[in-house]
């Protein structure tokens, strides 16, 4: 499916041309392991393992099977979760960059801020903390905007479009 504006929207299972087989596999695995089927399979595995305990006399081998299996799954899931978080984080940063770039009055210095050093981020944080203090001195931060302000803002945006 494609939206009227922007990149084509894909489900996580749709292959993207140019992606390596490993990228497609990890994308599929990330989507599948985050679903109900994977949870159901995990519960079923534990139930079967528990039921098989008396058959194998609750032996060390019986315990080793579940320990080894869960260790392998945990090891792989760490990388799948990190991949998903990295991709989601990058997409969110790009969306925020677009909002900053498109917003009048917003500082373009904040575009790609994640690439700054910790010291540079702390400097910017101090700047915005000072703005918060100025806003507190001006009026209550919990004061909401009026409906009239929202309507005025809506009409301004509509005139620009």
Distance separating alpha carbons of residues 80 and 27, to the nearest angstrom: 8
Domain spans of the chain, in order of start:
1-110, 116-161
Q: What is the pLDDT of residues 56-97, one digit of tens each?
A: 999 999 999 999 999 999 999 999 999 999 999 999 999 999
**Helix axes 36-55 and 60-102, enclosed angle (nearest 10):** 170
Closest to 75 in 3D by CA, of 86, 65, 67: 67
Q: What is the pLDDT of residues 23-56, one digit of tens each?
A: 999 999 999 999 999 999 999 999 999 999 999 9
| Predicted TM-score (pTM) of this structure | 0.65
Q: What is the pLDDT of residues 87-136, one digit of tens each?
A: 999 999 999 999 999 998 888 888 888 889 999 999 999 998 998 888 77
């Amino acid at each position: 499916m494609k939206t009227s504006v922007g990149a084509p929207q894909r489900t996580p299972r749709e292959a993207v041309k140019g992606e390596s087989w490993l990228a497609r596999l990890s994308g599929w695995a990330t989507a599948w392991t985050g679903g109900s089927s994977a949870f159901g399979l995990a519960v079923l595995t534990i139930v079967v393992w528990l039921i098989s305990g008396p058959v194998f006399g609750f032996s060390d081998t019986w315990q080793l099977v579940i320990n080894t299996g869960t260790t392998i799954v945990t090891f792989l899931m760490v990388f799948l979760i990190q991949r998903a978080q990295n991709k989601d984080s990058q997409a969110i940063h790009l969306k925020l960059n677009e909002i900053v770039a498109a917003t009048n009055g917003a500082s373009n210095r904040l575009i790609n801020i994640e690439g700054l050093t910790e010291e540079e981020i702390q400097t910017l944080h101090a700047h915005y903390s000072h703005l918060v203090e100025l806003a507190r001195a001006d009026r209550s931060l919990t004061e909401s905007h009026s409906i009239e302000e929202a309507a005025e803002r809506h009409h301004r945006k509509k005139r620009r479009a």
